[in-house]
Chains A and B, each alone.
Chain A
């Protein structure tokens, strides 16, 4: 970038509506897609374990929310995205992909159908603008109105085995269409809420969308609401939860999603990757009627020798990390077969885990590969994803 001296450089950092809450809690911050977000409050390991054993609370207000409203919304999304969004019911959510014409992944998304004619598309913070632009462009000719409402929607995630109990115990929840303090009816709806479903509720009289979704591999909820209500809800959940609810930063979010085998945009997913390479072929509804962006490329499929995403498990404590190279042997004559996209010493499992793109002939489960960890070849076996599955 050239500084011409004529304009003030844009140093604006975006801050969450919960910024003051995080600062009061002593959080350390990191820049994430231009946002100052908590990376940890005290210990990322403690935060990770809290989500696996009790519950953690995350501020995800940096994520993008794009609303489609109008009778053509379902058809517009069928054209714009890889999945068949017209097939989901009101109150249902679906994981989907925004593809480019070459089948590359522009972003991965969670799409909620919040009404017959209304959808909410949740995008990664870094991709919010491009997703909004693409949806506007692709919705042209459909009877729908696309609006980026990210600045008007905050997001709090409560994740972990105690999440449901804490939500039930927290005072102030009611139903959207009932008396605002009908906690019993709220609890009944919450209890009946299936995974990847959402229902409109109220918190202290103001609307909140309660979704049973998440990015940690645990049971949990994501709560969408107005930014000026977010601090109140955060305080209510942490006060009610007491020691069961630990504020969690992005560091623990990353190790949690990695253990759960969930891809992260910019690591496992990019425009250079076709869905099938990342194990996301099932997300693309090739049988749906009509054309959608990326269909031809996805139907043609990746090249036979295109790398595919695998899980790697190693012994010891030295973790393969993003961009480390993967070889088929230990010696200097070994062939490079791939590259790590994410890796960490798994806090839950106690050994290193990683995701990597490797050549298809090196991808079978059980295959022993070697990761170059800063000059040392560390043995790692191809294992099925996810690394961690919560106890049933």
Chain B
């Protein structure tokens, strides 16, 4: 079980797990539920430089398209192939197997705590 208080969050409903200079990024359960069943993800390839605040990927459900905003500056080192093959992992395990990308980021911008994020979503 993921300790959700150990993660950081963005106003765009991403979560960020920091492990040294490696940052794992996904979308929250709140975002996954709002989207509905995810049927397609388009993720940046390893080697892509990403800039905080820019759109770097797409998460499509049957009903709508969600954009993945880069929460940090850095370089993509891995895109989750399991999610590309089985996008429903975003719904079934958003904080675990449904992670989207890993990025090397030398420094982090200020992100939200769990409490701050929950205040944002009202949940």
Interface residues of A (CB under 8 A from B): 28, 39-40, 43-46, 48, 251, 254-255, 317-319, 321, 344-345, 347, 374
Q: Which 3 A-B pairs rank lowest in CB-CB distance, beginning with the nearest?
A: A317-B40, A45-B37, A345-B39
Task: Say if the beta carbon of B60 comes within 8 Å of chain A.
Answer: yes
Q: Residues of B at under 8 Å CB distance from A? A: 33, 36-37, 39-40, 42, 58, 60-63, 65, 88, 91
A44 x B58 contact (CB < 8 A): no
Q: List 17 A-B contacts (CB under 8 A).
A: A28-B33, A39-B63, A40-B36, A43-B91, A44-B61, A44-B62, A44-B63, A45-B88, A251-B36, A251-B62, A251-B63, A317-B39, A317-B40, A318-B40, A318-B42, A321-B65, A347-B62
A345: B residues at CB distance < 8 A:
39-40, 60, 62
Q: Chain B: which residue is nearest A258 at the CB level?
A: B62
Contacts A39-B36, A43-B37, A44-B37 given; indicate if A319 touches B63 (C-beta within 8 A): no
Would B65 and A374 count as touching, CB distance under 8 A? yes
Q: Inter-chain contact count A-B, CB under 8 Å?
A: 41
Most-contacted residue by chain B among A45, A254, A347 (CB, 10 A): A45
CB-nearest residue of chain A to B92? A43
A44 touching B40, Cβ below 8 Å: no
Tell me, in angstroms, the Cα distance from A321 to B65 when the chains sit together. 9
Interchain nearest-CB distance for A4 vs B (Å) = 29
Q: Is B60 touching A318 in the complex (CB atoms < 8 A)?
A: yes
Please report the C-alpha to C-alpha distance between residue A345 and residue B58 in the assembled complex, in whole angstroms: 15
- Chain A residues with Cβ under 8 A from B39's Cβ? 45, 317, 345
Interface of A: prevailing SS: mixed
Residues of chain A contacted by B65 (CB below 8 angstroms): 321, 374
For the complex formed, measure the closest distance between the CB of B56 and the CB atoms of chain A, giving whole angstroms. 13
Measured between alpha carbons, how far is A99 from B42 in the docked complex, in Å?
43
Minimum distance in angstroms from B67 CB to a CB of chain A:
9
Given contacts A44-B37, A251-B62, A318-B42, 10 further A-B contacts (CB under 8 A): A28-B33, A43-B37, A43-B91, A44-B63, A46-B37, A251-B36, A254-B63, A317-B39, A321-B65, A344-B63
Determine if B62 and A344 form an interchain contact, defined as CB atoms under 8 angstroms apart. Answer: yes
Shortest Cβ distance from residue A310 to the other chain B in the assembled complex, whole angstroms:
21
Give min CB distance, A337 to chain B, whole Å. Answer: 23
Which A residues are in CB contact (< 8 Å) with B33? 28
* Known A28-B33, A251-B36; contact A374-B58, beta-carbon cutoff 8 A: yes
CA distance A39 to B35 in the complex (A): 11
Among A39, A48, A254, A374, the most chain B Cβ lie within 10 Å of the Cβ of: A374
Task: Give, as a whole number of angstroms, the nearest-CB distance from B31 to chain A.
Answer: 13
Residues of chain A within 8 A of B63, CB atoms compared: 39, 44, 251, 254, 344
Kindly identify which residue among B40, B58, B62, B91 contacts A255, using a CB–CB cutoff of 8 Å.
Answer: B62
User: Who on chain A is nearest to B63 by CB?
Assistant: A251
Whether B36 contacts A44 by the Cβ 8 Å rule is: yes
Candidate in B39, B65, B91 with the most chain A CB atoms within 10 angstroms: B39
**CB closest chain-A residue, reference B36:** A44
CB distance from B38 to the nearest CB of A (A): 10
A28: chain B residues within 8 A (beta carbon): 33
A28 to B62, CA, bound (A): 15
Question: Which of chain B's residues have a CB closer than 8 A to the CB of A255?
Answer: 62
